[in-house]
Amino acid sequence: MINRIRDWKVQIAQAFLPLLLIPAVFLLDVPQKIFVLLKQGKVAVSSLEWYWQLILNLGNWAIIVVMLPLIYRAIRKHNKEEVLKQNLDVIVWHTYPGYWFCRHILNYQTVSLTRVPIPVQFELVWKGLFKEYKCMDGVTEKTDSDNISVETLQSEPYTSTVNLILADTYPLDDWKAKVPAQTTTFTTIIINRNGERGVRYYSKDFVSKIAATVHNLPATVTDINIFATINAAHVYHIVNEVFKTGGRDNQKRIRVYQQTSGTWVFEGKLFKEIKIGAQ
């Protein structure tokens, strides 16, 4: 919770600081103060525009009703050109309602996926909440051909739930020790980009291989568990080019798991479930 507040302190301030106008107006009795100032300046109230006369005569609540929308309008105008991003060096798991508030109330139209937890990235891209997604920060597009390996385990027969292990930035060796114990009996497909480790590349070949694998799953597969060590660019393109392409009606949902910092295993406590097909 503390990291959420620290990371989005600007957004929290934008949401709640304007509300201090309410007690301030009542404490200062603003209309009365204005009447005093007008009298001292020998300015007749009747010389003001009719709407100012009305607001002053209606009192404190009229001032609040007029000023608050103007303040929030200025905030929304400012945020329209800003990028909503995570500012801390640690992974912060913001809620979807929090992103929704930033998008629709505070009017952030662009979000950066950098340092956002992978399950949250999947959810934000899937739901198309923002008009623009920044995902190439620190990522280089790979222009030459890439070496992608696919290994399928425990597939005779395929289980209705399939583990999809996507290894890009970091390898996922000894996968059974790194995924939740209850998922180790499922059919497991490991798609590995055999490139330079620790270097962030966006590889079209990697995304294409994932798309071909998912679209060719048997009709009996309804659920996909995703365990991924991939960069934000790959998340963006995987969601749009693998799962948003119409898919197959038999695939009902994906569950995207988050690695636990420090141990770098998928404990199963943090994940996002996304419905992708007909229910």
Better-predicted residue by pLDDT, 79 or 59: 79
In this predicted model, what pLDDT tens digit does every residue of 190-247 receive, in sequence order? 999 887 666 788 999 999 999 999 999 999 999 999 999 999 999 999 999 999 876 5
User: Tokens 């949401």, residue?
Assistant: 15
Q: What is the pLDDT of residue 279?
A: 44
* Cα–Cα distance list, 133 to 110, 125, 191 (Å): 6, 8, 25
Q: What is the pLDDT of residue 276?
A: 86
pTM for the predicted model, two decimal places: 0.87
